[in-house]
């Protein structure tokens, strides 16, 4: 039987829906990749897209707007010809780096075990067929 939400979730009481929306935003694979890519400093759009790899221009634009709206990144437009735009983590975004990088490191550290588990699971499913 499921024991209910963890105490950490219960503490937030009426903010549960908001907490969920924030976790959905920062838990999105592209958001994590953007935040991780900006940890060493500001990047232009094309450099960010190249650093992430596999993200479309539209998806990167949408995610950057959402992260900017949430106050995790800032967008600076320089009055040059052609205009130069850079994205960087805000103070709030930097405060998210430790848990994000911990999660990335955890995934890397456990990737072999997870892959082995996936293969065993898939083989068991094939054996049931």
State pLDDT tens for residues 11-34: 556 677 878 888 888 778 899 889
Give the pLDDT of residue 7: 56
User: 3-class DSSP state for residue 120?
Assistant: helix
Q: Would you call 89 exposed, middle or buried from its count of C-beta atoms within 10 A (0-12, 13-18, 19+)?
A: buried
Looking at every residue in the chain, the average pLDDT score rounds to 87
Element (DSSP H or E) covering residue 14? none
Torsion sign, CA atoms 32, 43, 52, 111: negative
Confidence of residue 4 (pLDDT cuts 50, 70, 90): low
User: In 3D, which of 70, 86, 57 has the Cα closest to residue 21?
Assistant: 70
Confidence of residue 66 (pLDDT cuts 50, 70, 90): very high
User: In 3D, which of 6, 32, 30 has the Cα closest to residue 19?
Assistant: 6
DSSP 86: E
Q: Which residues pair with 74 in a beta bridge?
A: 88
Sorted by where each starts, the structural domains of the chain and their CATH numbers stand as 7-128 (1.10.10.10)
């Amino acid at each position: 039987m499921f024991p209910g939400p963890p105490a950490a979730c219960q503490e937030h009481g009426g903010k549960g829906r908001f907490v969920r929306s924030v976790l959905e935003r920062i838990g999105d694979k592209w958001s994590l990749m953007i935040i991780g890519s900006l940890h060493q400093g500001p990047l232009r759009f094309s450099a960010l897209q190249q650093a992430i790899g596999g993200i479309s221009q539209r998806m990167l634009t949408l995610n950057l707007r959402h992260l900017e709206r949430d106050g995790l990144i800032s967008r600076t437009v320089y009055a040059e010809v052609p205009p130069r735009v850079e994205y960087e983590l805000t103070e709030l975004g930097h405060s998210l780096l430790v848990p994000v990088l911990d999660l990335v490191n955890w995934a890397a550290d456990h990737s072999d075990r997870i892959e082995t588990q996936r293969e065993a699971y898939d083989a068991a499913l094939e054996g049931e067929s």
